[in-house]
Structure 1
Amino acid sequence: MLVDNCPRCGSQKISFDFNGLNCTKKSTNLAEVNTSEYEVYCVCRECRQTTIFMCWPLDKNKSLENYNWRGGLFGLRDVAEVGRPISPADIAVEEPPEFLPLHINNAYEEGAKCLAIGCYNAAATMFRLCLDYATKDIIPEGDQGPTQKIKRSLGLRMGWLFDNHILSGSLRELAECVKDDGNDGAHEGILDKSAAEDLEDFTYLLLERLYTEPQRLIEARTRREERRKK
């Protein structure tokens, strides 16, 4: 069972019957933590209409298929983090790069959905959030790091990362879509489709460089070692 708001009839905190699940994505991050994403099929007890919710196991290394759903005396939230319901915004949406941390993956997906339905300023805000999360993770601390003013500003922070060769210079031209905070239109609500798509392209490439490529190298090295053992 799941208690949530029904997007079909508007009932608040109504009970849903859990009728099935499907695993839509599996990923492993650099810390070798497995994460699975599921879509769960639920029926509202008020209107009897169906809603599909996204969810993730609370135990990152455990599959939801391993639970006894027919005989289990527990709610869905006892074993899973339940997210939003699937909506038309999920149709034809750009997938994020592989192996992203969950909070960055979620922000990217939200930005892609906003872009798909024409909410360009909202999309830009979420892509900037992805960049903010990712660049904060690679800023050095102590004397090797930048000033507090640079740390607080996404645009200044990225310029510092390029100047100090922490980010590849090959991405610098594309990074023109990220200006100093308050100077790129996002805060004024004036971004158009082209500007939002430029920001999406740069965000995708940067996240792929920081998270996807290192994990793919690890997996390739692991496969090589396994072949040599044989």
Structure 2
Amino acid sequence: MVMLVDNCPRCRSQKIAFDVNGLNCIKFYTSLSGDKTYEYEVYCVCRECRKTTMFLCRPLEKNITLDGYDWKNGIFGLKAVAAVGRPISPADLAVEEPPEFLPEHINSAYEEGAKCLAIGCFNAAATMFRLCLDYATKGLVPDGEQGPAQKIKRSLGLRMEWLFDNHILPEALRELAECVKDDGNDGAHEGILDKAAAEDLEDFTYLFLERLYTEPQRLVEARARREERRNKGS
């Protein structure tokens, strides 16, 4: 039987063996380069307490699934073919999915923020949504004489204001960006954000990332489908 050695969240045993009894592909991520990363929930039973834990796993290689292995009769370790992440928890219930085609580090930060929001950890959620915006906007700021001062580069709020003023970000998003203020005037740094403030930040982050990553990639795919239809018709 396929085996996993990990910590059991049910009985707290450390580095205990689990029997892998099955898996299910729950989604996949497509990067801007077109590579796909598949994500699975893997059904595991602890050999110590005999209780079930579901682990999130991804294949070790891009564009590869885990479906071709003999999970019933195989004799190998799960970690030989997959990166094993955290166990499924109540934080995974009723969680908003991130936009499509995000870079993996931004996707992970968004998912963590959405899970924090789902269980009422509003300041933690805001921190992760701000991290998404921080990752996404740093690459938009030019260096040298064309760029802003270092103080503006270091502050997410000031950086975004500069990007709007210089027409690098669409003006239509400016009003929603009021939820991202200068660092000195941001409740997230004082730990006083409420649910409404965290949800405002989630809404803006989703729309911002969708505009920056999802819409351009959808246009690329639409053009590719159009070319394919034209080639078939010729």
| Fold match (TM-score > 0.5) | yes
Letter of the structure 1 residue corresponding to residue 118 of structure 2: A
Q: Map 1:48-67 to 2 at 5 A.
A: 48-67=50-69
Q: Which of 107, 111, 114 pairs up with 1:112?
A: 114
Q: Secondary structure at the match of 2:178?
A: helix
Q: Are the aligned partners of 1:55 and 1:82 in contact in 2 as well (CA < 8 Å)?
A: yes
Q: Are the aligned partners of 2:102 and 2:209 in contact in 1 as well (CA < 8 Å)?
A: yes
* Per-residue deviation, 1:31: 1.1
Q: Map 1:79-228 to 2 at 5 A.
A: 79-228=81-230
Alpha-carbon deviations, 1:87-141, whole Å to 9, x = none?
A: 1111111111111111111111111111111111111111111111111132223
Q: Are the aligned partners of 1:97 and 1:204 in contact in 2 as well (CA < 8 Å)?
A: yes
With over 3 angstroms needed to count, the CA separation of the structure-2 counterparts of 1:78 and 1:151, relative to structure 1, is farther
Alpha-carbon deviations, 1:147-204, whole Å to 9, x = none?
A: 2221111111111111111111100010010111142111111000110000000000
Q: Are the aligned partners of 1:121 and 1:190 in contact in 2 as well (CA < 8 Å)?
A: yes
Alpha-carbon deviations, 1:43-69, whole Å to 9, x = none?
A: 111111111111111101111112344
Structure 1 range deviating more: 208-217 or 69-78? 69-78
Alpha-carbon distance in structure 1 between the residues aligned to 2:144 and 2:59: 37
Aligned pair count reads 230
Letter of the structure 2 residue corresponding to residue 132 of structure 1: D
Scaled by the length of structure 2, what TM-score is found?
Answer: 0.93
Letter of the structure 1 residue corresponding to residue 59 of structure 2: P
Q: Give unmatched runs, 5+ long, in structure 2.
A: none
Letter of the structure 1 residue corresponding to residue 230 of structure 2: R
Alpha-carbon distance in structure 2 between the residues aligned to 1:203 and 1:147: 24
Alpha-carbon distance in structure 2 between the residues aligned to 1:147 and 1:23: 46
Scaled by the length of structure 1, what TM-score is found?
Answer: 0.95
Q: Are the aligned partners of 1:97 and 1:207 in contact in 2 as well (CA < 8 Å)?
A: yes
| Cα root mean square deviation, aligned | 1.4
Question: Does 2:231 align with 1:229?
Answer: yes
Match of 1:7 in 2: 9
Alpha-carbon distance in structure 1 between the residues aligned to 2:187 and 2:180: 10
* Per-residue deviation, 1:77: 1.9
Q: Give unmatched runs, 5+ long, in structure 1.
A: none
**What's the % identity of the aligned pairs?**
80
* Per-residue deviation, 1:144: 2.4
